[in-house]
C-alpha cells in the first residue's frame, strides 16, 4: 500500500505540472495492479494477530467479506478511471481522479484498517 500511496503522490505531482507522462503511466499501471491484487494481499486471516503491526487489517474485516470485496471493486473502478485520465493527459481530470481514488482508498481504510 506504500507503493500505491507513492504512485498516487507522483501522479498528483504530474497533475500539478511536474514529471513526465510516461512515468505517470507506469505509476497508474502500478496503482491499478495493486488495487486488483488486494484480495490476494489481504485474504481472510491476514490481520495476523500473532504478528501485530504487519498487516494493519482489522480482525473484523472478515466479518463481512462481501463488503470488503465491494470496497475493493470500487477502488479498481476508480483506479481504472485514473489510468484512463493519465493516458488522456488532461491534468485537471487527472487531479480530480487522484482525489476520487484517494477517497476510495480512505473509505476502505476507515472500514477495514486498525
Q: Per-residue DSSP letters for 40-96?
A: HHS-TTTT-TTSTTSS-B-GGGGGGHHHHHHHHHHHHHHHHHHHHHHHHT-HHHHHH
More confident: 40 or 56: 40
79-114 pLDDT, tens per residue?
Answer: 999 999 999 999 999 999 999 999 999 988 888 776
Predicted local confidence at residue 42, as pLDDT: 77
Which pLDDT belongs to residue 32? 97
27-31, 64-68, 80-84, range with the lowest pLDDT = 64-68
Mean pLDDT (whole number) for 6-32: 93
Residue 2 has a pLDDT of: 87
Q: What are phi and psi of 56, to 5 degrees?
A: 85, -5
55 pLDDT more than 70? no
Amino acid at each position: 500500500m506504500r507503493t500505491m500511496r507513492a504512485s498516487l503522490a507522483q501522479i498528483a505531482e504530474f497533475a500539478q505540472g511536474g514529471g513526465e507522462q510516461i512515468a505517470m503511466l507506469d505509476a497508474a499501471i502500478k496503482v491499478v495492479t495493486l488495487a486488483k491484487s488486494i484480495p490476494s494481499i489481504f485474504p481472510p486471516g491476514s490481520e495476523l494477530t500473532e504478528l501485530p503491526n504487519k498487516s494493519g487489517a482489522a480482525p473484523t474485516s472478515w466479518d463481512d467479506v462481501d463488503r470488503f470485496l465491494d470496497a475493493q471493486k470500487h477502488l479498481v473502478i476508480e483506479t481504472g478511471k485514473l489510468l484512463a485520465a493519465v493516458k488522456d493527459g488532461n491534468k485537471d481530470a487527472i487531479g480530480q481522479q487522484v482525489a476520487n481514488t484517494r477517497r476510495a482508498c480512505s473509505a476502505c481504510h476507515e472500514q477495514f484498517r486498525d
